[in-house]
Amino acid sequence: MFHIVLIEPEIPQNTGNIARLCVAAGARLHLVGPLGFSIDEKAVRRAGMDYWERVDLQTWSSWAEFQQAHPEARLFLLSSKVDRYYWDTEFRDGDFLVFGRETKGLPSSLLAAHPETTLTIPMTAETRSLNLATSAGIVLYEAIRQISLAGGKSF
């Protein structure tokens, strides 16, 4: 199982879409607070559609609490501020794909603490960033593709 970790997400529709993505891909969703919305909001549930009830969801009050619960986790941090492409990584079942807030991304201190596992999705120079749900889908399905090619996870 792969894990999608959203640190301080701000837009409920993105989180709802990512919840639906996680159900479809068999991934666990981790929401690390503080959240910019309540997970009970209609917008989150509308975007997650009828999948919301089936999402494998864990919530954490802070990054420190998340890290304490997963000290051995293999983390990959996604950012538009780094140079290593996501496809240059060999993903393994159980990896954690970590994404930051829609408006600011991941904190620079967190990226600096994990330089060997920071990844980016290439974009044209005129593009600042991709939608959070789109980014999560791109990287999650590349990880699943790699595992499937290696004889692992299949649908």
**Tens digit of each residue's pLDDT, the chain (155 residues):** 999 999 999 998 899 999 999 999 999 999 999 998 888 767 676 766 678 889 999 999 999 999 999 999 999 999 999 999 999 999 999 999 999 999 999 999 999 999 999 999 999 999 988 999 999 999 999 999 999 988 766 65
For 147, residues 6+ apart whose C-beta sits below 8 A from its C-beta are: 91, 92, 93, 153
Instruction: Return the CATH architecture of domain 3-149.
Output: 3-Layer(aba) Sandwich (3.40)
Query: 123, 75, 81, 122: which is closest to 104 by C-alpha?
Result: 81
Structure confidence at residue 65 (pLDDT): 98
How much is the pLDDT for 117?
97
The predicted pLDDT at position 81 comes to: 92
